[in-house]
Structures are given as structure tokens and as C-alpha cells.
Amino acid sequence: DTEVTQTPKHLVMGMTNKKSLKCEQHMGHRAMYWYKQKAKKPPELMFVYSYEKLSINESVPSRFSPECPNSSLLNLHLHALQPEDSALYLCASSLQFVPGNPGELFFGEGSRLTVL
């Protein structure tokens, strides 16, 4: 099983809503990532978890709150988002997190978020 599964595939929410994105992998990977990708732009790193601990937060606004309940699961909690937060949110995993040497990242298909 070399899949990273993300749910939901599509999400529409208002600026006052609270919602969550979920990500799951069963490859035994110990590093998990959240990326944000706007249309026709490259992915931008948001968070990195290594061994279930937050290793990197790329100065992401607090309206995005990551959570890693166990080594297979990664959540992104969303609250009071802005329309400019509309994007494709990609989850990825890798065997380990080694700063500067990412190894192979396995990406999910993404959750397409629209904020009204």
C-alpha cells in the first residue's frame, strides 16, 4: 500500500465555519506534511510532523491548526478562514524527516477547499 488518502476531496465552507481535513497513510512513514497549492503555483510547505511531533511550522496563521493523533493520521483543523485560503491542500508522507534531505515524498490527491 503506497497510498496517502485524503478526505474530503472537496470542501466548501463559510468564513465562520469550523472544518477539518484528514490524511492517512499505512506505509510506516514517520514524517507527514501539509502543503498548500494555489492554481498554477507550486506546493508551499505549511507544516511538518516527525514522529508525531510538530517539527516545522512555516509561519502559518493560527486559523490553520494541525494535529497528528498517531503515526498514520494527520489532521488540519480549519477555523475562521478567509476567501484567499481557497486552495488545494496536499498531505504528504516520507520515511523520515531529515532537514535538507527530504527523500521521496508520497503525496495524496489533495483536498480542494473553497472558502466563501
Minimum Å gap between C-beta 93 and other proteins is 11
Count of residues of this chain found to bind other proteins when the rule CB under 8 A is applied = 22
Quote the CA–CA distance of 90 and 95 in Å, as a whole number: 17
Stretch that binds other proteins, among 13-21, 59-67, 78-86, 108-116 (CB under 8 A): 108-116
Minimum Å gap between C-beta 105 and other proteins is 7
Q: What is the DSSP letter of 83?
A: G
Q: Which of 1, 16, 40, 84 binds other proteins (CB under 8 A)?
A: 40
Quote the CA–CA distance of 101 and 11 in Å, as a whole number: 33
Do residues 115 and 82 touch, judged by C-beta distance below 8 A? yes
Do residues 72 and 22 touch, judged by C-beta distance below 8 A? no
If binding is defined by CB under 8 A, does position 105 make contact with other proteins?
Answer: yes
* CB closer to other proteins, 81 vs 93: 93
